[in-house]
Structure 1
Amino acid sequence: MEGLKGSSPRLMIVSDLDNTMVDHHDPENISLLRFDALWEADYRHDSLLVFSTGRSPTLYKELRKEKPLLTPDITIMSVGTEITYGDALSPDKGWEEVLNQGWDRGTVVEEASRFPQLRFQVETEQRPHKVSFYIEKTKSSEVINALSKRLEECQLNAKIIYSGGIDLDILPQGAGKGQALAYLLKKFNSEGKSPQNTLVCGDSGNDAELFSVADVYGVMVSNAQEELLQWYEENAKGNPKVILAHERCAAGIIQAMQHFNLDPNVSPRDIVGLSQTGPKYFSLGHEIVEFHLLCERWRRAEVEDSNEIFQRFKSAIDPNCSLLHPWGVEDNLFTGIDVLRQCYGDQKGKQFRIWIDKIRPLKISSDIWLVRFDKWELIEQERRCCCTTALLKVKPDAPNSLSWIHIHETWLDGCGNRTNLCCSI
């Protein structure tokens, strides 16, 4: 959110994680990486990314270690009962106060424990404003009806959300993914920072409330579960602002951006040529994403081994550009990039990916940008990240009209080593 500088976000995407942003049936994470490249190239600098997940903070952090997820500006966790900000997951105390009103967690646990069909989920999923169980699908309807009646008789400020054909959560009446989003939108509006457009994305029953929030676009991905499709038939069919995608997960989110004309909406990973140019594109974001994407494709032999392709690297680098590697050695990048030529295809057929996260630009003069970003690499099962600071200068005849003049890389949390780094940028 630091890059917005008090302005209204151009776009806010609010997405569930499991089976929406993240496709657990896509071992290469192709659709997620496509979304990552699009967001960092065109939206990170003036928009908001919000993850809204049923996961607790513990399970959310585990997923981030497993998948190439971007860092969101806001994270809504535990089925809308926790709102946090930034890397530090700083809690929204105002939301906690809202949920405390009339909530009696102890009595909720006591009443739910009367139903032997309910099995408590693991301790990490039991949160201050969420009590979570597993229940067999065949028994869910009967138990939900009886438990709802019992909670009402006890005058408890609570509601039940069933999703995924197995998960049953009991929350404060005012909680949930939809209510958390409505709270954020009201907060932004009071600050004069309402998003120009909001797109919500989901696949299961606990996402249904997102699509009921006023004045938002919505997409249910093609792999949406039965309970959400039933909700759509009963509540949203015919609503032009809500679509059923024919693409799975993150690919369905990109499809929705195209359907609703939320532009740009083509990922750099979907471009066969070397770059996307034009006034609608953020040239700085594109240069950072495209430069590293070309490095990945070069090493995977997904582009032609030609002077023309390799010249794309050279033409974007100032002859005096210095690169300070994370292990402390400084090189001239313009001459050092020639080492990459020898690495053509060295990762062909292997699980090798590069993705960029948290692009944070600052224009420090009329023609120079200072930009910080995290560069992630995956080589087979090893992940590593460099925190990168770079200077780029306006150069009209360079790709994206920008030239790299200095790069300084440091390891994130000491996660790197010197293995396989001879060809890294």
Structure 2
Amino acid sequence: EVVQSILNRTESRQELAIARRPALYHQGAIVSTIDQNLVGDPLALQALVDLLNQHRKEIAFCIATGRRLDAALKVLREHNIPQPDVLMTSLGTEIYYAPQLTPDRAWSNHINYLWNRQRVVDLLGDLPGLELQPKLFQSTFKISYFYDPAIAPSVEELKRILFKNDQTVNVMFSFGQYLDVVPIRASKGYGLRWFAEQWEIPLNRILTVGGSGADEDMMLGNSLSVVVKNRHREELSDLNNIQPIYFSEKEFAAGILDGLAHYNFLELCRATGQNHD
């Protein structure tokens, strides 16, 4: 009787409208961050864009970024990067689908669970070494700080403070100076798995590309993971002890191309498509 009363209050999971699921025929997906990965080497980027355009019908192109949607789109336009099939912005707290950049409202409702933005801001407001970033970098489900490790409490201590005050959240540190707090159900990794389920793409046919600590959970699990060479990738060095992850010795988009070759990713997806025919 107790369980039934809970079930009666539970909303059924919202399925995506057909218009937002145009790519069920995709046999795989490439999910990349923007900074430290896509941009930085124009020649390699053009080679990657050409490759994406050649295989757009078989392989979905996705962006996972800490940037807000408007900022992410601005960078993509500046570098002539085609609009992705899926944009996971603000550290995976917002998901948008091409071609109309339709927001995934079901995802927003899902991550809103136990989220109390103002309470988090109040708890961290007076701590040394933490400074809220400008409004441009904030969003409904993401609180972003400049973090000075020399004087701020450790990331683990910040987590303890929040959890002790009943704030169930994800805390992420990246690029040696940024600290972000998002809902417990939100991250790039959770957003990736939500997208994979909606588009019915197996995780072992998804290539994830990262370069900093904020990408860690996106690269765990059954996806094929590539860490490009950059000065922040030591934040991901512990992943080598957990599962096989390819650490490329090439930078920016060249590292992505190197990762695609390492996993023979295009052939892997093509073979999957043939098996389904």
TM-score by length of structure 1 reads 0.55
Alignment-mate amino acid for residue 30 of structure 1: L
Q: Does 1:186 align with 2:208?
A: no
Q: Which residue of 1 aligns with 2:210?
A: 202
Q: How does 1:71-220 map to 2 (within 5 A)?
A: 71-139=83-151, 142-189=153-200, 194=202, 197-213=205-221, 215-220=222-227
**Counterpart in the other structure of 1:65:** 77
Q: Distance in 1 between matches of 2:48 and 2:29?
A: 14
Question: Match of 2:166, as an amino acid?
Answer: Q
Map of 2:50 onto structure 1: 37
Aligned to 2:257: 254
CA distance in 2, matches of 1:178, 1:78: 13
1:99 CA drift (Å)? 0.8
Question: Structure 2 matches for 1:6-405, cutoff 5 A?
Answer: 7-23=24-40, 26=41, 29-41=42-54, 43-139=55-151, 142-189=153-200, 194=202, 197-213=205-221, 215-223=222-230, 225-236=232-243, 239=244, 242-263=245-266
**Aligned AA (1:243):** Y
| 1:71–1:226 CA distance, 2 compared to 1 (3 A) | closer
Distance in 2 of aligned mates of 1:90 and 1:105? 24
TM-aligned CA deviation for residue 227 of structure 1: 4.2
Higher helix share: 2
Residue by residue over 1:206-231, the C-alpha shift from the partner in whole angstroms, topping out at 9 and shown as x without a partner, is: 01111113x21110012251443333
Q: Distance in 2 between matches of 1:209 and 1:5?
A: 27
- Paired residue type of 1:17: I
Q: Compute the RMSD of aligned alpha carbons.
A: 2.4
- Alpha-carbon shift at residue 87 of structure 1 (Å): 4.2
Change (3 A) 1:34 1:18: same
- Greater Rg over alpha carbons, structure: 1
Percent identity (aligned): 25
Contact (CA 8 Å) 1:220, 1:244: kept in 2 or not? yes
**CA drift at 1:30:** 1.0
Q: How far off is 1:169 after superposition?
A: 0.1
C-alpha deviation, 1:194, in angstroms: 4.3
1:159 positional shift:
2.0
Q: TM-score, normalised by structure 2?
A: 0.83
Q: Which has the higher strand share?
A: 1
Taking structure 1 as reference, are residues 88 and 231 closer, same or farther at Cα in structure 2, changes over 3 Å only?
farther
- Preserved contact between residue 9 and residue 195 of structure 1 (Cα < 8 Å): no
Separation in structure 1 between the aligned mates of residue 207 and residue 253 of structure 2, nearest angstrom: 13
Contact 1:11 1:48 in 2 (8 A): yes
Instruction: Provide the rounded CA distance (Å) in 2 between the counterparts of 1:50 and 1:227.
Output: 24
Q: How many residues align?
A: 252
* Contact persistence 2:66–2:92 (CA under 8 A): yes
Deviations, residues 159-179 of structure 1 (Å, cap 9, x unaligned): 210000011000111111111
Please state whether the residue corresponding to 1:58 is helix, strand or coil. helix
| 98 and 233 in structure 1: CA distance in 2 versus 1, 3 angstrom threshold | same
Residues 264 and 172 of structure 1, relative CA distance in 2, 3 Å threshold: same
SS at match of 2:249: coil
**How far, CA to CA, are the matches of 2:113 and 2:214 in structure 1?**
22
Partners in 2 of 1:209 and 1:254 — Cα distance?
22
Residue aligned with 2:179, SS = strand
